[in-house]
Structure formats: structure tokens, C-alpha cells
Chains A and B, each alone.
Chain A
Amino acid sequence: MSAMAAAGERAPGGRLVASWRRVAGLILPLSWRGVRRRKAGAALTALSLALGVATFLLFGGYFAATRQAVEGRIEPLALPADLVVAVGVDSPGGVPGGLPGGGPAGAPSIVQTLNRLPDVKTATGMVVGTAYTSVGRRRIIGLDEKVLGGLKLGAGAPPMTAGEVLLPQTLAAAGGIKVGSQITIATDMGGVWREQKFSVSGLYQGDDFFSGPLARREALAPLGLGPVDNAALVEAYPGSSRPGVASQIRSLYRDSADVLIPEFPASLAGSWLGQAFSPGNVAVFMVFTFSGLGVMNVLLLSFLQRKRQMGVFKALGMDDSDLKQLFFGEGLYVAAAGAALGMVLTAVLVALLGRLTSVRFIISGWLAAWALVLSFAVFALAAWLPAVLCQRASVSVLLQNKRIYLDPKTSCAECGRCGGF
């Protein structure tokens, strides 16, 4: 048999070309066969990833849209403020469809937007100021006379004394409050409730960004929030300790005479950590972790069912990198399918929600790119364990479909208490 001598001859081309040809021409098709063989399982895995991707995109898109809506409302206000303070874990200020209790998106960008306004000298974040009024949870905002005067009144007059507030018409209507009504405003001051009685001097129009009671800035003095020149309260993040924040601010604003508010999380507003642990991000992270663990489990099980096949691959001379590529290839196909399916699902949901509700989403290319990166990361991670197990197990153990251990050489396999894989 003359061709026998030909076996073992190398295909022409450089090393890189050769290894690429091996991956594209041999290993990936084998991965594809493996995926196709387990169509139903692979489809379910892709679907679970698709749900993760859709959740990620919907959350991200919702936050992007919320941010845009909030920012869009700041410009028309054109606050001539010296200091703008971002505060609180309130509902996203007046955003239609806002999640109750959910933090607002992108306070740093709100602060930035505020800073760009011509008359604003300083805009920053703050933690205090969440107020519970007798009609619902809102923040009370202390404003300068000329800002109060500039509001479009629906009824009554701007507050003339410290004991008066302006309410938004919508809030008043919801609480059955009229001009002249007495309301109580309680403010959480670091765990201590401070209550103050106000009489409603008037109602202002528009479902504006503050959507809360507006008082004269002097009115906030008893709450420990003022007086501050032209203070406006915007949104910020949960999870900061006020004493810590306060000391940070004191050191940051040591020389500033204008800033009288002690709690002032300038660092928090821009902090990566503060952003990363917003409730939305935590939810998205958990969804991804769950779908990632599910995917990992499925890939691991599908490998454990095919130990004998892997043994044959190894017996025929597949080396570590071949096996790794084989598993990563399988992951790649399912990840690609899952990501694509997730995007389609997202598009459908966005269209459906847009039609049925007033919720809007902005899904940018970056967001989609992140979803892709995360999907592939999940699968790379999920392929890693089977690949390592397969590499470390001896061929005979795989061929005999025996239990395999992460460390087959030493005490791990001998102990065997964990049961192996």
C-alpha cells in the first residue's frame, strides 16, 4: 500500500495557517456535529442564554431611555443654581413608567448635564433628602425665590414663608390636596425622622423632573438641609454611609463657603462601584450569573455523557489544544445562537412593550456589543471545566466511562469523597 507512506505528511503552509486550517477544517466541524447531535439540549441552552441576553438588553435599554428622559427634563428647567445636589433612592423623578423605588439611571450624567447649564456653578450628588410626605414618598426641594417665581403656577401662589410649600398638580390631585391644605413632611435624617408641617400655598404645572414639594430654601433649615444658595435636589445612589460621605465632603469642600449641606457624595456620584451596585445592575448581574451557571451545568453534563467519545478522540491522538478548541467550538455555536435569539427576543419585546405601554428602550450598539461579549464569556467559562477535566483524565478512564477527578494524579482521585465527575 503505497499511500501508507504518505500518511503523516504535513499539509503545506506556515504554522499559523496550519493550525487555523486544523481549527476551521477539522475541530469546528466536529464541534458543530456535536451540537447538531444534541439539537434539543443545545436549543434549550441557547434559549436560557437568550433570556439572559434579553434581560440584559431590556434593563440596559430601559436605563438608557430613563437617563435620556431625565436629562431631557433638566434643560428646560434651566436652573440658575449655584449648587445642585443629587439625592436619594426615590422613584426616578417623574419618568413615565419608572420603577417604584428603583434608583434613577446615570446620576453622574445628570450631574454633568446640570453642570453644563449656564448658571450652575457646581452640580454634584448628595444622599440626604428622601422625604415622605403625607401623600407619598417625594423629596422636598428648597429653592431660591426667583426660581420659585419662575415656575408655572396652576393655582395659588409661590410660598412666601418657610412654612409653605408648592406641590405639583399631579401629586396634589393624587392625594386630594388643595391650596390651603396642611401637609406633614417627614424627612429621613440618617435614621432620625424629622417632621415638619407645611401649608400648601399653590400648585405648579407640569409633571416635571422634581415631581415633589417645593419650598423656600429657608424652609429646609430645620431639616438640616439648608440654607443653601439655589439648591436643587437631583438623584443619586443608595448604599453610601452618611457619616463617611459627610467626612469626605468636608475634606473636599473645606474652603467652600457656599456649600452648607454636610452630606455630599461627590465621590459616590462618579464612583464606579456606586454605579456597579445599582439595583438594576445587580439584577442583571444575577440573571446573567444564573443563566451562566445553567449553561455551564448543561455543557458539563453533555461532556460527562460523552466521556467514552472523548476517550476515543484522545486515543486517536487529539492533544490538549484540540480538545480545548473542541469544547470552545461547541460553546461558540451555542453562544452565537443564544445571543442572536436573545436579540430577536429583545426586538420583539421592545416593539410589544412600546405598543402596549409607555415604556421606552434605547438599545445602543455598545449595549448589544456588551451582551455579545458577556454571552461568549459565559460560554468560554462554561467550556473551560469540561476541557480541563477531559485533559486531565487518562484515556483509559475516559474509555471505561469511569469517574474523573480534577486532579487525577494525587490524593484527590484516591480520596474520591467528592465523588468526582
Chain B
Amino acid sequence: MSQLPRDVPASHYQSAAQRRLQRTRVDAPYRPGDPILRGLNLTKRFLMGTAPVYAVRQTTLEIKPGEFVLVVGPSGCGKTTLLNLLGGLDRPTFGEVVLEGQPYSKLDENGLARLRRNKVGFVFQFFNLLTDLTAEENVMLPMQLVGLSPAKTRARAAELLAAVGMAERAAHSPFELSGGEQQRIAVARALANSPTVVLADEPTGNLDRKSGTEIIGLFRRLNREFHQTFVVVSHDLSFTEHADRVVHMEDGQIVKVEAKTA
């Protein structure tokens, strides 16, 4: 991967990125076994005042179905930004994201919202449960958004809460739950619509070691039992043993990929 200077003119950058992109077929029909999630030549530029900051620079990452990928790297290296791009929470400055053959650039904001609703599950560092709702209602919301019938929604919420070991706390408000418990609810919520991929940004960052290990263990179990694909961002290098692949980032770029041969 060529090392790009931090501040190159946008025009130069764009043409380079686009040339690369043209060689990659982004709209090829998805075939089972292909990478389900592909981030291609992703670049994200932010402006701090007038100075551009490249949070992610020409980064390509492909995720295979059923894979458990851990993204690690120092603070500020662009992990969150990359994850946001992969999840359609933000648009890349250049580059393309393709989920199951669907390029994000072909979708408008509402289309992207529908894609997130149906195919992407998110777990955040600060849990981000909706505090107006109970634990169960938090888990039900994504299913209600896709229009699942109330009976099925309720049944599946119960199933998910049981799967994350939170069946007894269904009626509780997030305020009444510990951090670890809240994160379990968030995991159940992320899984609600059987997403193609679950993206987790520092899911253990706000938890003590024990709860953090439990959450990663939960991820690993869901990954093994249901072939759920996970991309997890973490500071914590001790989780690398759980991952199929460990992606090291530095300064907006992927610098090393460790794959475990099964």
C-alpha cells in the first residue's frame, strides 16, 4: 500500500483513489462465499477549521461471512471512523463500501438507513441504549422498525434476551442496569434483525475487565453458534486470541493483518 502524504490536493487524491476503484468491480453480484462486507480504498477526510485531517487513508478491508475480525490500534488511528464507514454511519470522502453486493454509494440516506436497519447491528462503547425505553423495548425497536408483527417481535426479544442472559431484566430501565448488563442488552438489540454483520466499537471500553471478557466471550459464542459475522474494534490486545483475524491500524491505515489458520 503506497504511503500517501498527509496533505495532498484533493484532486490528486481523488483521481488516484478513483483509478484504483475502477479496477475493482463494486457492483458484481454477490455470490455465497464472497466477502460479505468490503471496504474499498476508503478515505475519510475531516476538516479541522481549514486544515484537512485524513482519519482513514486508502484503506481496503474485506470481511468474510462468519468471520470474527478484531481491529486494534492506538487512539486516534481511525478505527472508529473506519467502522462508521463500514456500517454506513458516515460517508467516505473517497472509496466504496459494499455489503452483500450492495454498494453504499448507490443508496440515498433513506436507503442507507434501511440497509442499517436490516443488515447491520451496532454495539457502541457507551452502550447507547434508549433511556426512554425498557431493556426489552430497546431490543424490540429494530424489529418494530422493519415491521415485524408484535407477537413475533415479543417472542424474538425474549429469545434474544435469554441468549444474552438478561431474560430477568427485560422490564428494567437502562438506568437500573450495570454497564455490563446494558452492553448485553445492546448486543441483543444489535442481533434483533439477524444482521449480516455486527460492528462493535470498543464494546468493552467502558466495562471492567470481567464484564468486558464476558461480552467478548458472548460475541465469540454467537459467532460460533450462529455464524454471526463480527467486526470488533478494541484497544485491548488480550482479545486477539478470540479473533479469526486481527487488523492493526496506524495513522489511518492498516499496517498489519494477522490471520489465524484454523
Chain A residues close to B by CB (< 8 Å): 1, 3-11, 18, 21-22, 25-26, 30, 33-34, 36-37, 308-309, 311-322, 391, 394-397, 399, 413-414, 416
> Are A33 and B226 closer than 8 Å at their CB atoms?
no
Given A1-B159, A6-B156, A18-B147, check contact A319 B113 (CB 8 Å): yes
> Are A11 and B147 closer than 8 Å at their CB atoms?
yes
Given A8-B193, A399-B124, check contact A317 B130 (CB 8 Å): no
Q: Which residue of A lies closest to B222 (CB)?
A: A1
Bound together, the chains give a CA A258 to CA B7 distance in angstroms of: 87
> Are B145 and A317 closer than 8 Å at their CB atoms?
yes
Q: Which 10 residue pairs across A and B have the least CB separation, nearest first?
A: A317-B117, A4-B194, A395-B89, A33-B132, A319-B113, A396-B90, A319-B110, A396-B84, A7-B193, A317-B116
> Are B89 and A319 closer than 8 Å at their CB atoms?
no
Given A391-B109, A414-B50, check contact A7 B143 (CB 8 Å): yes
Q: Which residue of B lies closest to A13 (CB)?
A: B147
Q: Would you list 25 pairs from A and B whose C-beta atoms are within 8 A, ordered by A residue? A: A5-B194, A6-B156, A7-B146, A9-B148, A9-B149, A9-B152, A10-B147, A11-B147, A26-B145, A36-B132, A37-B132, A312-B128, A314-B89, A315-B87, A315-B116, A316-B116, A317-B114, A318-B113, A319-B114, A322-B145, A394-B90, A396-B80, A399-B89, A399-B124, A413-B47
Bound together, the chains give a CA A37 to CA B90 distance in angstroms of: 29
A275 to chain B, nearest CB (A): 45
Q: What A residues does B148 contact at CB under 8 A?
A: 6-9, 11
Bound together, the chains give a CA A313 to CA B131 distance in angstroms of: 12
Provide the main secondary structure of the chain A interface: helix
> Are B118 and A317 closer than 8 Å at their CB atoms?
yes
Bound together, the chains give a CA A314 to CA B91 distance in angstroms of: 14
Residue in B47, B132, B144 whose beta carbon sits within 8 Å of that of A414 in the complex: B47
Given A9-B148, A399-B124, check contact A316 B142 (CB 8 Å): yes
Q: What B residues does A22 contact at CB under 8 A?
A: 147
- Interface residue? B192 (CB, 8 A): yes
Bound together, the chains give a CA A313 to CA B103 distance in angstroms of: 23
Bound together, the chains give a CA A312 to CA B143 distance in angstroms of: 15
A370 to chain B, nearest CB (A): 34
Q: Which residue of A lies closest to B199 (CB)?
A: A315
Bound together, the chains give a CA A81 to CA B49 distance in angstroms of: 77
Q: Which residue of A lies closest to B109 (CB)?
A: A320
Q: What A residues does B149 contact at CB under 8 A?
A: 9, 11
Q: What B residues does A319 contact at CB under 8 A?
A: 109-110, 113-114
Q: What A residues does B110 contact at CB under 8 A?
A: 319-321
Q: Which residue of B lies closest to A12 (CB)?
A: B149
B174 to chain A, nearest CB (A): 11
- Interface residue? B155 (CB, 8 A): yes
> Are B145 and A399 closer than 8 Å at their CB atoms?
no
- Interface residue? B122 (CB, 8 A): yes
Q: What A residues does B163 contact at CB under 8 A?
A: 1
Known: A317-B113, A320-B113, A396-B84. 18 other contacts (CB 8 A): A3-B155, A5-B194, A7-B148, A8-B146, A10-B147, A11-B149, A30-B132, A37-B132, A309-B131, A311-B128, A314-B116, A315-B87, A315-B116, A315-B122, A316-B116, A319-B113, A396-B89, A414-B47
- Interface residue? B167 (CB, 8 A): no
A174 to chain B, nearest CB (A): 64
A220 to chain B, nearest CB (A): 72
Q: Which residue of B lies closest to A308 (CB)?
A: B128
A35 to chain B, nearest CB (A): 10
Bound together, the chains give a CA A9 to CA B153 distance in angstroms of: 11
Q: What B residues does A396 contact at CB under 8 A?
A: 80-81, 84, 89-90
Q: Which residue of B lies closest to A416 (CB)?
A: B49
Q: What A residues does B150 contact at CB under 8 A?
A: 25
- Interface residue? B164 (CB, 8 A): no
- Interface residue? B141 (CB, 8 A): yes
> Are A317 and B142 closer than 8 Å at their CB atoms?
yes
Per-position binary interface string of chain B over residues 121-133, scored 1 when its CB falls under 8 Å from any chain A CB and 0 otherwise: 0101010101111
Per-position binary interface string of chain B over residues 87-128, scored 1 when its CB falls under 8 Å from any chain A CB and 0 otherwise: 111110000000000000000011001111110001010101
Bound together, the chains give a CA A315 to CA B124 distance in angstroms of: 11
Q: What A residues does B114 contact at CB under 8 A?
A: 317, 319
B164 to chain A, nearest CB (A): 12
> Are B159 and A399 closer than 8 Å at their CB atoms?
no
Q: What A residues does B126 contact at CB under 8 A?
A: 308
Which of chain B's residues 25-66 have a Cβ closer than 8 Å to chain A?
47, 49-50
Q: What B residues does A11 contact at CB under 8 A?
A: 147-149
Q: Which residue of A lies closest to B113 (CB)?
A: A319
Bound together, the chains give a CA A6 to CA B149 distance in angstroms of: 10
Residue in B84, B115, B145 whose beta carbon sits within 8 Å of that of A395 in the complex: B84
Given A4-B226, A10-B147, A316-B117, check contact A309 B130 (CB 8 Å): yes
Q: What B residues does A316 contact at CB under 8 A?
A: 116-117, 122, 141-142, 145, 189
Q: Which residue of B lies closest to A392 (CB)?
A: B109
